[in-house]
Amino acid sequence: MTIATGRMCDRSDPNAGCLDRMRRGRRRSAALAALLLFSGCSVTQEIANVEPVTTGESYQAQYRLMSVGAAPIATGTSAGANAERCTSPAGAVSETAALRAVPRDVEILSIGDLLDVSLSEDATFSGKYRVSQDGTLRVVHLPPVRALGRTVDAVQADLARALVAAGNYPTAPQVSVRLMGYAAARVFVSGAVFEPGAHEIGGPTATRTEADRLAAIGAAGDERRLSRALRAAGGVRPDADLSRVTVLRGERRLTFDLRPAVLGRAHTDAILLAGDQIDVPSRGCFQEALMKPSPISPPGVKVFLSNLTVPATSNAQSLNGKEARELRWGTRFLQAAVGMNCVGGTRLTNADRTVVLFTRNPITGSSIVVERNLESLLRRADRDEYDPWILPEDALACYDSGSTNVFDVARQLGVVLSTVKTN
């Protein structure tokens, strides 16, 4: 039997109004039961991962499960666990050997580079030329001169000999070849970088017009160096073996030790040519020393954020635009949580929030999900052992506290009751 407003009703009552009140009463009871059920529910099941995240044996040991109430672990435990999985650097070459392989700042020509050829009082051969697609310098009335991968001085000497061989001069004339500008170069990057593939580097910068390049004498190849190629490929990953970065140029294999670049020291930063293939091997482990800005690290970290629903009226208004989506390389989990407005607010209702990190092991490709209780992470002295670094393309989601959920249920309960009452 159901209680209706005004009098008792049962299913045999033929009164239509009484039947309507019975149906409204059942709907109200169902709504109340559902709200009360959801208000008392919480997710207690641990997040499952294919990788051994719980024990700290995944890509970052800092992904490990943070057990509430567990005894603190020793400082540096995560760093030690990360280092244990590293393979030893192999094939490293000294700075001197690297410099011998590709001399620093020598003008080596690539496809499309702009040259100025000048012969004294001879306008026939003088002019501005670009290195052709086949890698040769094609001066009028002369056979092609090989230029790709060679120095300007070598091309100049070959051009003088070609003029004599063609019968234009009895002896080698005074010829001048000057590099006026480096062209863009398409290179290929593979291995332990975040965006492997073909990348175009170099070419005129935004501050130099083509007219400036034509009028100036000399060229700067800063935009076509090895470090630029690595940054164009998203930067080196934390598992990269910087002791043996290789550049395959035709039949030649050049090896570079780029570890000094991370330390802010002088290092070989070779000028690259079109078609160069760069490979960055992996040490198979997460190296915390690489989580700092450097000439070869990612220029920044693009992440995907979904923050709290209360007290903000919408996620779009809660986020702070570009700065909340692009983080500095070396940002950690707790810093990102602060940046997405997930920390702070009214202590009674907001102090028990959790943040979930969605990431992926760049070596295995396996997805990883990590959940942290912010209040516990803030107050633990061993927080660094559970505070992972944020990687490119990571995603973070903030969940409101249980108190906020209860208050929200109560607010929705009032809406439902008022709606039922009006019906």
Task: Tell me what pLDDT residue 295 has.
Answer: 93
For residues 41 and 397, the model is more confident at 397
Q: How sure is the predictor about 14, in pLDDT bands with cuts at 50, 70 and 90? A: low
Those residues with Cβ within 8 angstroms of residue 327's Cβ, 6 or more apart along the chain or in another chain:
300, 301, 302, 303, 335, 336, 339, 390
Q: How sure is the predictor about 133, in pLDDT bands with cuts at 50, 70 and 90? A: very high
Instruction: Give the single-character DSSP code of 8.
Output: E
Q: Is the pLDDT of residue 414 over 80?
A: no
Q: Is the pLDDT of residue 328 over 60?
A: yes
Distance (Å, whole) CA 32 – CA 90: 67
From 60-69, 88-97, 177-186, the region with the lowest mean pLDDT = 88-97
Instruction: Give the single-character DSSP code of 323.
Output: G
- Residue 98 CA to its chain's centroid (Å): 28
Bridge partners of 324, per DSSP, are none
Task: Tell me what pLDDT residue 376 has.
Answer: 85
Task: Tell me what pLDDT residue 317 has.
Answer: 53
Task: State what percent of residues in the chain have pLDDT above 70.
Answer: 70
112 φ/ψ sector (left φ>0, alpha ψ -120 to 50, else beta): left
Distance (Å, whole) CA 185 – CA 165: 32
From 112-116, 237-241, 335-339, 418-422, the region with the lowest mean pLDDT = 418-422
Task: Tell me what pLDDT residue 1 has.
Answer: 42
Task: Tell me what pLDDT residue 38 has.
Answer: 47
Task: Tell me what pLDDT residue 98 has.
Answer: 46
**How many residues are given for the chain?**
423
Q: Is the pLDDT of residue 54 over 70?
A: yes
Helix/strand/coil for 59? coil
Helix (H) or strand (E) holding 161: helix 152-165
Percent of residues in the chain assigned helix, strand, coil, to nearest 5:
30, 20, 45
| Average pLDDT in the chain | 79
Q: Which of 275, 295, 293, 113 is nearest to 204 (CA)?
A: 113
Cα angle 409, 419, 405 (rounded to 5 degrees) comes to 5
For residues 183 and 312, the model is more confident at 183
| Average confidence (pLDDT) over 134-142 | 90
Domains of the chain: 2-41 (no CATH), 61-86+299-406 (no CATH), 95-106+184-284 (3.10.560.10), 114-181 (3.30.1950.10)
Q: How sure is the predictor about 66, in pLDDT bands with cuts at 50, 70 and 90? A: confident
Residues 377-404 have pLDDT tens digits of 888 899 999 999 999 999 998 887 655 5
Distance (Å, whole) CA 242 – CA 229: 14
Q: Which of 144, 245, 128, 227 is nearest to 190 (CA)?
A: 245
Those residues with Cβ within 8 angstroms of residue 82's Cβ, 6 or more apart along the chain or in another chain:
60, 61, 285, 286, 287, 288
Q: Is the pLDDT of residue 415 over 50?
A: no
Give the max Cα distance, the chain: 125
Q: Which two structure tokens, joined as six digits, stand for 339?
A: 């940046």
Distance (Å, whole) CA 287 – CA 143: 53
For residues 94 and 384, the model is more confident at 384
Q: How sure is the predictor about 416, in pLDDT bands with cuts at 50, 70 and 90? A: very low
The answer to whether the CB of 186 falls within 8 A of the CB of 275 is yes
Q: Which of 285, 287, 225 is nearest to 256 (CA)?
A: 225
For residues 342 and 249, the model is more confident at 249
Q: Is the pLDDT of residue 108 over 90?
A: no
Q: Is the pLDDT of residue 21 over 90?
A: no
Distance (Å, whole) CA 423 – CA 419: 6
Task: Tell me what pLDDT residue 241 has.
Answer: 95
Q: How sure is the predictor about 9, in pLDDT bands with cuts at 50, 70 and 90? A: low
Task: State what percent of residues in the chain have pLDDT above 90.
Answer: 40
Task: Tell me what pLDDT residue 299 has.
Answer: 86
Residues 160-180 have pLDDT tens digits of 999 888 888 888 888 899 998
For residues 287 and 100, the model is more confident at 287
Residues 216-267 have pLDDT tens digits of 566 666 788 999 999 999 999 999 999 999 999 988 999 999 999 998 888 8
Helix/strand/coil for 277? strand
Q: Which of 420, 422, 411, 408 is nearest to 31 (CA)?
A: 420
Distances (CA, A) of 304 to 44, 272, 394, 423: 25, 34, 6, 43
From 152-166, 289-303, 330-344, the region with the lowest mean pLDDT = 330-344
Distance (Å, whole) CA 157 – CA 151: 10
Distance (Å, whole) CA 400 – CA 40: 15
How many CB atoms are located within 10 Å of the residue 62 CB? Answer: 25
Distance (Å, whole) CA 233 – CA 189: 7
Task: Tell me what pLDDT residue 56 has.
Answer: 85
